[in-house]
Amino acid sequence: MRLMLLGPPGAGKGTQAESISKQFNIPHISTGDIFRQNIKNGTELGHKAQEFMNKGLLVPDELVVDLVKDRLSQEDCQNGFLIDGFPRTIPQADALDRELNNMGINLDRVINIQVDREILIERAVGRRVCKQCGAAYHIKFNPPKAEGICDKCGGELEQRKDDLEATVAKRIEVYLEQTEPLIAYYSRKGIIQNIDGTQEIKTVFNSILEGLRG
């Protein structure tokens, strides 16, 4: 299964990706996670990406495309993958198209998670992520068992720097301008599956599974 998750910041892509990746035993490829890992490790890429991310802007296409190409060529992607957070611009989508063509493969489905703006802000601002394993929680909608501690690994939870309200608002604006056009792009290819992302986490997951069966 070769899948892609599309949706605005805070829609629940990362949360659903975790379940989908387990269900189908395919790697979850999140460009946001890759950048955050690079920032944590103090790499040059991390350094470059950070200045855009903290402002709520997209990292330039040329820093993203090769990174995804490399990742898709790895052994664990042979039997499928789930891409989350990429592409975010039409040039990125075109580059991905060309690469998949070269590899002789197609995307099976683009899962488009739809959520209104006010809900997105509340979700992103209340998001807390594990410093150690990256798992995402929400102070109100998906709290950990013990406050501030990751259920999965015991790591400490923190707020992402770009999850402050003003930065989230900027990211939504950037999404509408640069990423939303991808819905039409993939609709034309006939592989879009629209999902109501305002439902409970489990219900959203069930809708995704249902859509993939149909």
Catalytic residues: 13, 88, 127, 160, 171
Residue 37 interacting with ligand ADP (CB under 6 A)? no
Q: Rounded distance, CA 174 to CA 19, Å?
A: 27
**Binding Zn ion by CB under 5 A: which of 20, 130, 136, 208?**
130
Q: What value, to the nearest 5°, has the Cα angle with vertex 31 and ends 4 and 210?
A: 25
* Binding letters toward ligand ADP, positions 193-212, x by CB under 6 A: -------xx--x--------
| ω into 8 cis (within 30 of 0) | no
Beta-sheet pairing, 2-6 with 109-114: parallel
Element (H, E) at 12: none
Q: Whole-number minimum distance, CB 152 to Zn ion, in Å?
A: 5
Q: Rounded distance, CA 110 to CA 186, Å?
A: 7
Compare residues 55 and 152 and give the one whose CB is closer to Zn ion.
152
Task: Give the up-direction half-sphere exposure of residue 197: CA atoms within 13 A in the CB hemisphere.
Answer: 25
* Binding letters toward ligand ADP, positions 138-177, x by CB under 6 A: x--xx-------------------x--------x------
Q: Rounded distance, CA 195 to CA 146, Å?
A: 31
**Binding ligand ADP by CB under 6 A: which of 2, 4, 6, 15?**
15
**Binding ligand ADP by CB under 6 A: which of 23, 45, 50, 52?**
52
Q: Rounded distance, CA 167 to CA 202, Å?
A: 28
Tell me the residue nearest to ligand ADP as measured from the CB.
32
Compare residues 2 and 8 and give the one whose CB is closer to ligand ADP.
8
Residue 78 interacting with Zn ion (CB under 5 A)? no
Q: Using CA of residue 212, residue 72, residue 61, residue 96, what is the dihedral sign? A: negative
Q: What is the DSSP string of 25-81?
A: T--EEEHHHHHHHHHHTT-HHHHHHHHHHTTTPPPPHHHHHHHHHHHHTSGGGTT-E
Count residues binding Zn ion (CB under 5 A): 8
**Binding ligand ADP by CB under 6 A: which of 26, 53, 93, 195?**
53
**Binding ligand ADP by CB under 6 A: which of 4, 20, 26, 58?**
58
The residues binding ligand ADP (CB under 6 A) are: 7, 9-15, 31-32, 35, 52-53, 57-59, 64, 85-86, 88, 92, 123-124, 126-127, 136-138, 141-142, 162, 171, 200-201, 204
